[in-house]
Amino acid sequence: MQRTIRTRRLVTGTVALPLAAALLAGCSASAPGEQAQDTAPVIGGTLVYASGDAEPTCLDPHVGGNYPQALVASQYLESLFTKDAAGQIVPWLAESTELSEDGLTRTITLRDGITFHDGSKLTSEAIKANIEHLQNPDTKSSTGYLAVGKVLQVEPVDELTAELQLSAPDNALLESLSMPWSAIQSPDALKRGQAVNCEAPVGTGPFKVESWQHQQAVNLVRYEDYVLPAQDAGRERDTAYLDGITWRFIPEAATRYAALQSGEVHVIDNAQPDTIASAEGAGLGHLDAPRPGASNRIELNSSKAPFDDAAVREAFIRSLDVNAGIDSLFFGTAPRSYSLLSSVEPLGIAQEQLFSPDAAKAAQLLDDAGWGERDAEGYRVKDGQRLSLDFPVSTNQSVPAEQSLFEQIQASAKEAGFEVRIQLLDLSSWYGALAEHKYNMVSAPYTKVGPSVLQVIFHSDSTTPAPSGYFANNAQVTDDELDDLLTRAGQTNDAAEREQLYAQAQRIVLEGHYVLPLYDQQNHFLYGKDVAGMGATTAVSSPIYYDVFLTN
Amino acid sequence: MSRWARIGSTLFVLLLLLVALVPGWLAPGDPLAIDPAEAFQSPSPAHPMGTDESGRDVLTRVVHGARDSLVIGIAATALGMGVAIVLGTAAALSPRWLDAGILRLLEALYAIPSLLMALLIIAFTGPGVGPAIVAVGLSTAPGYARLVRSQIRTLRHSEMLQAATVLGRGTLLRVRNHLVPNALRPLLALITLGVGQAVIWASALSFLGLGTPPPAPEWGAMLAAGRTYLHLAWWMSLFPGLAIVVVAAGATMIGRALGGKVNAA
Amino acid sequence: MGTLRWAAGRVGGALVVLWLVATAIFIGVRLIPGDPAEAIMGGPGSQASAEALAAARADYGLDEPLRVQYLMFLGKLLRLDFGTSYALRDPVLGIMGQVLPQTIVLSLLALLLAWVLALVFAAASLRATRVGAVLGNAVEIIAAAVPHFWLGAVLIMVFSSTLGWLPAVDNGTGAGLVLPVLTLALPLAGFLTQLMRDSLSTALASPFSLAARARGDSRLQVFWRHGLRHAALPALGMTGWAFSSLLSGAVVVEAVFARPGLGRALLSAVLSRDIPMVTGIALFSAAIYMVVMALTEGIERALHPAGVDS
C-alpha cells in the first residue's frame, strides 16, 4: 500500500497513475483504497481540513513566515519555482531562468497567460513588488526575508522578464524562491495594506481565499480561471476538482483524530504517532512528508555557560540515550537522525558515532571541566553554581510525544548531574525567551529548501535578529572558518564543490557538539477513506489539494 | 452526621494526609524514574495502574502527586478564605456605605467566572503554579466572603453577642472570641467543598497548559498528559482522574456531613 | 414603582461593578513590568514594530500622566470602544459579537439540560429504595467532581471514535452540540440535583405537603404541585452562580471540542497576551453575569414577590 509522494507533477500522468520512479527518500503516502485511485476524479464537494496548529495571525506567509502559514497558503499562492519528483528545482510560475557569468544577475521569465484571483495579469512587476514586500521591514518577514537577502534590486525588463541584481552569487536563490514564504501575490493586493492583505492574500493558486472567520475556519473556494503552469496531459481541466476547502483549527489531538474517524473532517495534520499506527489499521490514509531543511534537533547555546565549553556540550550529548525514547514514543514513525539536515536533503551527512551514549566518557569530561562535585540533589556544581540548563519548549511546536521525549532527556541528564529546567511556553513567550537569550538549549524547527539552511542556522550573521525579531542561529555558533565555508558553499557555481564545502561545514558543527539531532521534522497527515488523489506537495512538503477529490 | 459517615470521612482524611506526607511509604519507587522500554504497559501486578508514555509507574505517580495536588487545592482555598474573612468581616462590621462598597467589590470579583479570572490573572503574570493558586483562590473568595458576612451579621444580633456586650467586653475581644469562631463553623464545611473544587480548577489549568509544569506528578498534569493517549492507554488518565474525583467527592461528602450546602463554593 | 427602583438599583450596581473590573484591569496592565505599550501589544515576544508601539502609546495616551490615561481608558469604554485586538487585527467589539452568541447558546443549552436532569433525578430519588438513594447520591457527587476536559475526552472516545454515533466537532447540523452540551451539563446537574433534593425533602416534609398527602394525593402529585416550586426556587437562585460556572467550563469545553466562543477567544488572547481582547472579554463576561443575575432576580420577584431581599 505504499506509494511514492509526488511533488508538483510536471510530467504527464493521469491521476490514476501515481508517479513512480524518482522518489524523495522517506516520503510515502499509503492510500486507503487503491481502487479509489483508479476511478475517474469526482468534481465537486468541499474538503474539510483540520489543522492542529495554532491559527495563523496572518494568512500572508510573507509576514513572519512559519509552517502553518505555508500549509494553508500552498492552496492559494504559488511560487516562481518548485521541486519535481526527482528533487530538482524546476520553474513553476517562471518559465525559464538564466544566470549571468559573474553570478550577480539572475534573469527570470514568467509564463504567459496566468492571472491572479483579482483578475490582474501576472507580470514581471509582480516579482519586483513581492521581493520588495519581503524586504520591507514593515512586513516583518523572517523566513522570506532571509530567502531573498542577497537580492539588491529587481528590474522588470519587459512584461514577463525581470532581472534580479544580487549582492553576491547565491546558488540557493531558486530553492529560496520555491518556498511558499516567498510566493507571488498580486501587486495590487499587496498595496491594500497589511491588515487587509493578511485577511485574504491574492495569488494565482488553484483555490482562493473567500473568507476567514477568525477562530473558526478559513474558507477557500476553487479559482475558476486557474491555469496550471506546467502541462499535464492527464487532466481534462485546469481547475481543481474540489469546490472548496474548509480549513479548520482543532488543537486537541484526540478530538481531531476522532473527527476524522467519524467523518466530520477529511484530512488532519499533526497526526499523533500513536494514532498513525492505528489509522493505517482502520483503513485511513497516511501521508508522511518530512519537511526539507534542518532536521529536528536540540541546539545547545554555545554563547554562555555552561555550554560555552565544548567538553560540557559533548558530555551532555554523550550522557543521553534518546533512541529508546524515540522508538517507544513515536511508534516507528520517526527514524532517528544523526544529521543536521532533513533526510530529503541529498547533501546531508550523518555521523552516528558522535552521538553514541557513553556515560563514563561524559562523567570524565565533566570532571575534567571542573564539574566534579555534586550537591545534595545529585546535580554537579562548580564554584557554587549548579550545572543547570534552561530549556524553553514551545507547546505550539512540540507535539506531546516530543514533550515527553524532552522529559526523558531531563531524567537521563539528571543521572549525569545536569539539571534541565523545562519551561513549557506559548509561542509568544517562547520567542520572548529566545530573544532575551534566556535559554541554554532549545528545539527550534527550521524549514527551507536545500542545504543553504545551514547558512541560515549556523552562520554567525544569523545571531543578529531578522526584522521579525527572530534569529535562527540558536546554537550561537560563531566560527570564522565555518562562516567562510558556508559563504563559499553558497556562492560557488560548481555542484561538486558545493557538496564538498557543505560537508565540511556540517562536520565542523557536528564535531563541535553544538547540536543533538533527533529526527526529521515530522509532517504526518491522515485522511479519510473517501479522499483520493493525495500526495502532491510543494517544495517544502506542504500538501496541495489541487489533485484531490472526494469519492462520495 | 451519621456515625459511619464520621468514621469514614475521618479515615479518608487520615489516609489522604498519610499519602501526602509520606508517599514513599505507600509507593517506594521514584515518580520521575523513566524506562522507555516499559512505556504504555497496561495494569499488571508489577504496575497495578500501568505505566505512562515514559515507562513511569502510574501508581507511584498518583501517590506522589497527592501532595502537589492537595497543596494547590488547600493553598488556593486558604488564600480565598483569608481574603474572604478580611472582606466579609469588614463588610459585616462596617457602616452601611462601606458595607455596600465592599459588597460591590465582591460582586465584581464574583462577576468573573473562576476559570476566566484565573486566565485573566495569568494573562498578566504568565503561567505557573503560583499564579494558578492565586487565581483559583481569588476567584473563590467572594463566595466565601458573602457567607462570612452573612454569618457575622446574623451573629451580631445573636443572644451570645448581646450577652458579651452586656458583660462589657471590648469590640475587638468580641470579634475575636465570639464572632470569628461562630462564623467559622459553617465555613469549615464550605472549605472542604472548596478544596475539592480548587483541585478540579487547578487540573483544568494544567489541561490548558497553564498549571504545574512537567514532569511533576500533579494529578491535573497527569490527567492532561494522559488524555492524549486515551484510546491507547486509558489507565494513564483513569487513575489520576479517579484521584481527583475521589478527593473532590470525598471533600463534598465531608462538607455536606458538616452541614454545608453545595451552592456557595 | 418598586420594580422601577429595583431596576434602577440593578443598573447602577452593574455599572459600579463594571467600573471596578475595568479599574482592576487598568491597574493590572500597569503592573506588568516593562513598557506598557509593549504589554498592550503582546509583550516582548510579539516583537511589535516601532510604529505599532507608537500607535498604542497614542491610543492609550501612555505619554500622559497616569490620571489622564485612566480617564481616557474609561472614556473609551463608555463609548463602547474596546480597541483593536492586536493578534486578530479586528475591533474587539466585532469579535465579541461573533463569539458571544456561540458561548451563550452553549451555556444556555447546558443550563437547560442540567435543570432537566436535576429535576428528573431529584424526582426519581423520591421513589428510590435505600440502595438506590445511596447509589444516586454517589452518582451526583461523582458527576459534580469530574473535570470537564476529561469527561469531554471520554465522551468523544465512546460516542464519536468507538460508536460513531455523534460528531466530535461541529459539522453544521447541530449534532455537534450534543457532546459539548453534555460535557458542560453533567457536572452542573450533579450540583443541582444535590441542591434540589435537599430542598425537596424539606418541602415534602412541610405541613403543607403532609396535608396534601393526607387528602390522598400521591407522592408524585404532591411533588408536581408543591414540591417542584419549593425545590426549584433555591436552585433558581443559584442560576447566576450556575451560569458563571458554565462560562468557566466553556473555556475548557470549547478547547476540547474546538468550538469558537468566548472561552477559546480568551484562551488565545491570554496565550498571545492580547490585552485589548482580554479587557473586552473580562468586561463582557462581567456584564453577562450582571444580566443573568438581574433576570433571575426578576423571575424570583415575579414568583415570590415578598420573599426577595438583598
Domains, chain B, with CATH or none: 56-264 (1.10.3720.10)
| A138, A195, A259 member nearest C169 (Cβ) | A259
**What's residue A462's pLDDT?**
87
Q: Which residues of A touch B34 (CB under 8 A)?
A: 325, 407-408, 411-412
Of A274, A403, A411, the CB nearest to B34: A411
Q: Which three cell numbers stand for residue C87?
A: 493578534
Instruction: Write down the pLDDT at residue C226.
Output: 67
Cα distance between residue A102 and residue A156, in whole Å: 20
Q: Could you tell me if A368 lies within 8 Å of chain B, comparing CB atoms?
A: no
Of B126, B127, B228, the CB nearest to A272: B228
Question: What does residue A390 show for φ and ψ, rounded to 5 degrees?
Answer: -85, 130
Inspect the interface and report whether the beta carbons of C169 and A199 lie closer than 8 Å: no
Task: Please give the pLDDT value at position A12.
Answer: 32
Cβ(C286)–Cβ(B135) under 8 Å? no
Beta strands in A326-472 (DSSP E): 373-374, 380-382, 385-386, 388-394, 419-425, 441-442
CB contact under 8 A, C150 and B200: no
d(C-alpha A526, C-alpha A160), whole Å: 40
Minimum mean pLDDT range among B2-11, B180-189, C57-66, C169-178: B180-189
Q: Is the pLDDT score of C44 beyond 70?
A: no
CA of C47 vs chain A CAs: smallest distance (Å)? 6
Cα separation, A408 vs B64, whole angstroms: 18
Contact A257 C160 (CB under 8 A): no
Q: CA dihedral defined by C234, C240, C241, C242, rounded to 10 degrees? A: 80
Give how far C136 is from chain B: nearest CA, Å.
13
Tell me how close the Cα of C142 comes to any Cα of chain A, in angstroms: 24
Query: What residues in A contact C49, CB-CB < 8 Å?
Result: 137-138, 140
Cell of C179: 457532546
Q: Is A423 on the interface with B (CB under 8 A)?
A: yes
Q: What local confidence, expressed as pLDDT, does residue A85 receive?
A: 83
Residue A220 grid cell: 477557500
Average pLDDT over residues A291-318: 94
Tell me what the pLDDT averaged over chain C comes to.
80
B54–A412: do the CB atoms touch at under 8 Å?
A: no
Q: How many CB pairs under 8 A join A and B?
A: 60
The sign of the CA dihedral A163, A169, A174, A179 is negative
> Tens of pLDDT along B127-137?
777 888 888 88
Helix B3-21 with B58-93: angle, nearest 10 deg = 110
Pick the range with the lowest mean pLDDT from A26-30, A513-517, C67-71.
A26-30
The pLDDT assigned to C227 comes to: 67
Q: What is the pLDDT of residues A164-195, one digit of tens each?
A: 999 999 999 999 999 999 999 999 999 998 88
- Pick from A324, A401, A424: CB nearest B209: A424
DSSP secondary structure code for residue C227 in this structure: I
pLDDT score at A108:
97
What's the pLDDT tens digit per position in B160-178? 556 656 666 566 566 666 6
Residues 236-255 of A with CB under 8 A from B: 253-254
- What values do phi and psi take at A246, rounded to 5? -100, 115
Residue B265 scores a pLDDT above 60:
no
Residue of higher predicted confidence among A526 and B68: A526
Of B107, B203, B262, the CB nearest to C195: B262
Q: What are phi and psi of A106, to 5 degrees?
A: -110, 120
Among the partner residues A138, A216, A430, nearest to C45 by beta-carbon distance: A430
Q: Please compute the mean of the pLDDT values over residues B245-262 and round it to a whole number.
A: 73
Contact B62, B19 (CB under 8 A): no
pLDDT for residue B264 is more than 50: no
Separation in Å, CA of A416 to nearest CA in chain B: 14
Could C270 and B204 be called an inter-chain contact, meaning their C-beta atoms sit closer than 8 Å? no
* All cell numbers assigned to B165: 456586650
CB contact A327 to B (< 8 Å): yes
The owner of cell 555550554 is A307
What's the CA gap between A424 and A395, in Å, rounded?
6
What's the confidence (pLDDT) of residue C48? Answer: 61
How far B226 CA lies from chain A's nearest CA (Å)? 10
Mean pLDDT of A310-315: 96
State whether residue C95 sits within 8 Å of chain A by CB: yes
- Cα–Cα distances in angstroms (integers) from residue A165 to residues A161, A162, A173, B72, in the given order: 13, 10, 12, 62
**Pick from C42, C49, C156: CB nearest A140:** C49
Q: Is the pLDDT of residue A349 over 90?
A: yes
Nearest to C271 among A250, A262, A426 (CB): A426
**CB contact (8 A) between residue C249 and residue B115:** yes
Radius of gyration, alpha carbons of chain A: 23
Task: Name the residue among A195, A255, A469 with its Cβ closest to that of C257.
Answer: A255
Average pLDDT (A319-333) is 91
Q: Are A111 and A94 in contact (CB under 8 A)?
A: yes
**Cα separation of C155 and C149, whole Å?**
10
> Is pLDDT of A8 > 90?
no
- CA nearest to B111 within chain C: C286
Partner-chain contact B111 C157, CB within 8 Å: no
For domain C96-309, the CATH superfamily is MetI-like (1.10.3720.10)
Q: How far is A195 from chain C (nearest CA, A)?
A: 7
Asked whether the predicted pLDDT for residue C307 surpasses 70, the reply is no
Q: Which residues of A touch B231 (CB under 8 A)?
A: 254, 275, 278
C280, C218 Cβ separation under 8 angstroms: no
- Asked whether the beta carbons of A502 and A454 are under 8 A apart, the reply is yes
Q: Answer yes or no: do B36 and A411 touch at CB < 8 A.
A: no
Interface test with C, best of B106, B229, B262 (most C CBs within 10 A): B262
Mean pLDDT along residues C100-116: 92
Bridge partners (DSSP) listed for residue A339: A350
Residue C266 clears pLDDT 70, i.e. is over it: yes
What's the pLDDT score for residue B154? 75
Nine cell digits for residue A229 = 503552469
For residues B178 and B155, the answer to whether their CB atoms sit within 8 Å is yes
Q: List chains adjacent to chain A, taking adjacency as at least 3 C-beta pairs closer than 8 Å.
A: B, C
- pLDDT tens readout for residues B11-21: 887 888 888 88
Mutation target among A140, A215, A424 for the C interface, most CBs of C within 10 A: A215
Domain ranges of chain C: 2-78, 96-309
Question: For A214, which of C95, C170, C272 is closest by C-beta distance?
Answer: C95
Q: Which chains touch C (3 or more CB pairs under 8 A)?
A: A, B
pLDDT at A483: 95
* Average pLDDT value over all residues in chain A: 88
Chain C residues in contact with A198 (beta carbon < 8 A): 89
Residue B60 vs residue C221, higher pLDDT: B60
Distance from CA of A389 to the nearest CA of C (A): 21
- d(CA A57, nearest CA chain C) in Å: 6
More confident residue, A530 or B173: A530
**Cβ-defined contact of B37 to A324 (cutoff 8 Å):** yes
Q: Which domains does chain A carry?
A: 28-289+523-550 (3.40.190.10), 296-519 (3.10.105.10)
The pLDDT, as a whole number, for residue A25 is 30
Query: C155: which 3 cell numbers?
Result: 465522551
pTM: 0.85
In angstroms, the separation between the Cα of residue B243 and the nearest Cα of chain C is 10
